[in-house]
Homo-oligomer: A and B are copies of this chain.
Amino acid sequence: MTVNVLDIAKRRGFFWPSFEIYGSCAGFYTYGPLGALLKLRIEELLRDHYVNKEGCLLIEAPILTPEDPWVASGHVESFTDMNVECTKCGEPHRADHLLEDKTRKTAEGMSLNEIMAAISKHDIKCTKCGGTLGEPYDYNMMFKTYIGPGKNKITGCLRPETAQTTYMPFRRLFEIGRKRLPLGVVQFGKAHRNEISPRQGLVRLREFSQAEVQFFMDPASSGKHPKFGSVKRRKFMVLTKGDQKPGRKPAEMTLEALVKKHTTEWIAYHLATAVQLFERMGIPKKYLRVRQHKDDERSFYSSDTWDVEYMSDTFGKIELVGIAARTDYDLKRHQEFSKQKMQVNLDGKTFIPHVIEVAYGIDRPLYSVMESNVKVDGDRVFFSFPPSVSPYQVAVFPLVRKDGLPKLARDVYDTLNGAGFYALYDEGFIGRLYYRQDEAGTPFGVTVDYDTKKDKAVTLRNRDNQKQVRVKIKDLVEVLRKVMSGQLKFEKAGKLIK
């Protein structure tokens, strides 16, 4: 039996194409009830790590901004893709993608003129209607609007990344952080890119969610990381920039070896952290690899960039997080364009801090968590989400809708909810309820039955293997806590029923 994650996602309300009643619009998705909860959990996991464990400051800046910061950052000039439109039907295409699809060779690094010549040479036509293509041109991917009314209105942009909205208030953040470096700042929020022709579900959206962390540092100390020792022996599948000729495969490498030849401790530490966080979200490590950007692929602001990639059955490699040494490029540009000082005085030195950026998407990890956790077990389909990110951690049902069982089950639900679990109450045919929670990826089910009145116990069901144990209601919170944290094996959690 093959399962299509996108079908389940739509049917069970994880996510679906937005504005369906008006014929949809490429690049926009709506999270339904299960998807919105899954997204919330993933964001909470990242926020908890970066705010509580790494000590980052959390901020939230607007999505819509004046144009000035994007002139300074270079986005107004350089944040472009090559667009080519059909002269007959008007369909827009990414010129480089058309060429790559035709020649099966990368178009990376090719100039507009080279692409134009190649399209003409290969006589490439519109893939929609077969019509003749127009001239390719650089197309800026920022959404623009006007802020304010009438004559005094100014141009506004929807931010294409949160990063610049964290850099702008750097001086204020430096003061709030009591003038210490390194200073970590994290921002969760939406960003927008007016993609030419988005077609990969949650992987390429025009509106998407990010969690971008910016570490501001003294360039003299931006190599060594104080916690590197704790991760240096960890191994990852790695593709360095020298490895990426056709036919070369990623090699397993310790971070220690990686740092010796290829990058800094700071970047290596955050690669390790990111992989660990993806694993905690439930993405098995075997689907993840670490890849360095090649010199002709790196963004204009970066001196060294690495991605953690997920190997998708459906979409090929998906970038989940990008870790980039952005140097002092952005702060220097904002200083130049705003005429406001971005340099700091520290330890007798005056300098503009350098930035290491850890830029997570949220939608792509969410999709990857779903794809890598969909399981087929006979005629049963379930998501094997870990309790740390599953939309619900435990579902509570009465065996039947009468004889006071719903009331008893409600009480159990209230207890679990009050104890901080993400709990759900539902009623119906018990088999169908289990089936529904399997597809929702709920790790545990609790059933209140007629015996409950006598033995004050409930049946606890394990989603992954359908085993069931009998647990006293008074022990349920403690048992669930221990089972979820791995301190207690499910089979030892109570009397085994089947």
Identify the A interface with B (CB < 8 A).
12-13, 16, 18-22, 25-33, 35-37, 39-40, 52, 57-66, 68-69, 83, 85, 90-92, 139, 143-152, 154, 156, 158, 165, 168-169, 171-173, 176, 190, 192, 194, 196, 206-207, 334, 337-338, 340, 417, 420, 423
Contacts and interface: CB of A to CB of B under 8 A. Distances in A.
A139 to B, nearest CB: 5
A154 to B, nearest CB: 7
Counting chain B CB atoms within 10 Å of each CB, the highest count among A18, A69, A85, A173 belongs to A18
Contacts of A58: 33, 36-37, 40
Contacts of A171: 21
Given A59-B31, A151-B85, A21 B176 contact: no
Given A147-B206, A176-B33, A417-B52, A66 B19 contact: yes
Given A13-B172, A19-B65, 5 more contacts: A19-B66, A25-B65, A28-B64, A33-B57, A85-B149
A170 to B, nearest CB: 9
Nearest to A166: B30
- Per assembly, the copies of the chain total 2
Contact of A63 (B19, B63, B338): B63
A19 B206 contact: no
Nearest to A339: B21
A57 B36 CA distance: 9
A149 B145 contact: no
A65 B143 contact: no
A304 to B, nearest CB: 27
Contacts of A26: 148
Contacts of A30: 59-62, 165, 169
A154 B90 CA distance: 12
B68 A19 contact: yes
Given A28-B65, A33-B176, A64-B28, A149 B139 contact: yes
B16 A172 contact: yes
B172 A22 contact: no
Contacts of A91: 152
B145 A22 contact: no
B158 A145 contact: yes
A459 B36 CA distance: 41
Nearest to A83: B149
Contacts of A12: 176
Contact of A176 (B19, B20, B32, B196): B32
Contact of A149 (B52, B63, B92): B92
B176 A92 contact: no
B92 A32 contact: no
Contacts of A149: 83, 85, 92, 139, 194, 196
Counting chain B CB atoms within 10 Å of each CB, the highest count among A21, A25, A169, A423 belongs to A21
Contact of A206 (B40, B57, B64): B64
Contacts of A40: 58
Counting chain B CB atoms within 10 Å of each CB, the highest count among A31, A35, A63, A147 belongs to A147
Contact of A33 (B32, B35, B59, B145): B59
Given A147-B194, A172-B13, A192-B64, A59 B83 contact: no
Contacts of A69: 19, 22
Contacts of A420: 420
A207 B62 CA distance: 7
B13 A176 contact: yes
Given A18-B61, A144-B145, A172 B85 contact: no
A54 B25 CA distance: 32
A32 B59 CA distance: 5
Contact of A64 (B65, B165, B169, B207): B207
Q: List the 5 closest pairs (A to B, CB-CB), nearest first.
A: A21-B338, A13-B176, A33-B57, A31-B60, A22-B68
Nearest to A27: B147
B66 A22 contact: yes
Nearest to A15: B60
Given A39-B60, A68-B22, A85-B149, A143 B156 contact: yes
Contacts of A35: 60
A200 to B, nearest CB: 16
Contacts of A176: 12-13, 32-33
Contact of A190 (B29, B63, B139, B150): B63
29 contacts: A18-B168, A19-B65, A19-B66, A19-B68, A21-B168, A22-B68, A22-B69, A22-B337, A25-B66, A25-B154, A28-B62, A28-B65, A30-B61, A31-B61, A32-B59, A32-B176, A36-B60, A52-B417, A52-B423, A63-B190, A63-B207, A64-B207, A85-B150, A85-B151, A92-B152, A143-B145, A143-B146, A143-B147, A147-B206
